[in-house]
Amino acid sequence: MQPNDTARHEGPDVEMQNPVLEVRNLKKFFHTKLGPLKAVNGISFSVRRGETLGIVGESGCGKSTAGRAVLRLVEPTAGEVIFEGEDITRFKRDRVRAFRRDAQIIFQDPFASLDPRLSISEIIGEPYEIFNLYSKAERFERVQNLMSLVGLSTKLTNSFPHELDGGRRQRVGVARALALDPKFIVCDEPVSALDVSIQAQILNLIQDLQDRLNLTYVFISHDLSVVRHLSDRVAVMYLGKIVEITTYHNIFTRPRHPYTQALLSAIPIPKVNAKRERLILEGDVPSPVDPPKGCIFSGRCPYVMDKCHEAPPSLISTEEEHYTACYLVHDQSDPIAEE
């Protein structure tokens, strides 16, 4: 089964006026013996209502931390997270609790994120108990409807997580995230722990639910081929920063940043004897405790210039709906930008 590519939102289906989510200079540092570990180091982006923003990058680039900081599952060190016009970083405890009804998360590991002591119906219905919503009969009916919505047989109502395969467990996680009718969902690598055939089923489910319920997603993944089937726009992260953000079409047909091009060149081609020029990156990813003074990618970039070591390039508009943090592109002398 292949992910359905027709569910991607374009044109009038996406409300272009006011973003449902706007992140401004978000930072999240962790204290270590060597100094602050800059997991997320000043990122900014917005997400329109009904849109999917994909965030991609290598393991350790900060993308999952960014998603959790947006929801205040980890407390941001600095920055603003504007949700429907309000800065949630300033919310007190009671207001954060109310915010949880509007914003949810689908976790990466569908087994670790489910309480093994609870049945499937108890897991899906737990949000109703936490918020003291509905009668017992109403909760049962809503859980049954959610199970049907995500493709789970109601025969599994009294089953436990260890009795299900990975795909069904992730469907339980999706149903739980939908229980409170959220407006915004962070999908934190929701298919990376699943077999490829099951991945396609879950991706199709996530797309179908967005169309039916007008959901807004931030979809986090290390796999560009997965993001391609879901995202309206894609942000590429490296070492805690966004180095490129644009439409999914531009990312796959006209990538501007050398790091984005290296990621794209690593995607396997499902054809016999098919060849693609590989952009092999040399060297190791720098430590987020001691990032480079200039461009964070300068130590691995094959096109590095002297000024790349002096000051970090800003993420600026290089063409319509295309933002890049790279001096090669800023100077309009990028020898690798042309097809």
Per the document, the length of the chain is 339
Q: Residues 265-286: pLDDT tens digits?
A: 877 655 555 566 667 777 788 8
Better-scored residue on pLDDT, 1 or 243: 243
Give the domain ranges of the chain: 114-181, 255-330
Q: Residues 101-119: pLDDT tens digits?
A: 999 999 998 889 999 999 9
Q: CA angle, 112 as apex, 198 and 89 as ends, to 5°? A: 105
Nearest to 219 by CA among 53, 5, 45: 53
Dmax over CA atoms of the chain, in Å, equals 68
**Mean pLDDT value of segment 208-224:** 93
pTM for this model (two decimals): 0.88
Given a contact cutoff of 8 angstroms between Cβ atoms, the answer to whether 25 and 8 are in contact is no
Count CA atoms within 13 Å of residue 257 on its CB side. 31
Alpha helices in 214-307 (DSSP H): 224-228, 248-253, 258-265
**Locus of tokens 């947006």:** 70
**Mean pLDDT value of segment 217-239:** 91
Q: If 0-12 CB within 10 Å is exposed, 13-18 middle and 19+ buried, where does residue 303 land? A: middle
99: number of Cβ within 10 Å:
17
Measured distance CA(210)–CA(190) in Å, rounded: 15
According to the model, what pLDDT value does residue 272 have?
53
Nearest to 189 by CA among 308, 68, 285, 84: 68
How many helices and strands in the chain, by DSSP H and E? Answer: 10, 12
Given a contact cutoff of 8 angstroms between Cβ atoms, the answer to whether 288 and 62 are in contact is yes
Measured distance CA(254)–CA(339) in Å, rounded: 7
**Locus of tokens 């797309």:** 207
Measured distance CA(100)–CA(90) in Å, rounded: 15
Confidence band of 43 (pLDDT split at 50, 70, 90): very high
According to the model, what pLDDT value does residue 286 have?
87
**Locus of tokens 């941001």:** 76
Amino acid at position 57, single letter:
G
Distances (CA, A) of 217 to 82, 150, 183: 15, 17, 9
**Locus of tokens 């060297």:** 283
Exposed e or buried b per residue across 278-302, where buried means at least 16 C-beta atoms within 10 angstroms of its C-beta:
ebebeeebbebeebbebbbbbbbbe
- Confidence check: pLDDT of 330 > 90: no
Alpha helices in 161-195 (DSSP H): 166-178
Measured distance CA(89)–CA(75) in Å, rounded: 8
Nearest to 63 by CA among 46, 43, 77: 43
According to the model, what pLDDT value does residue 9 have?
43
Measured distance CA(329)–CA(224) in Å, rounded: 22
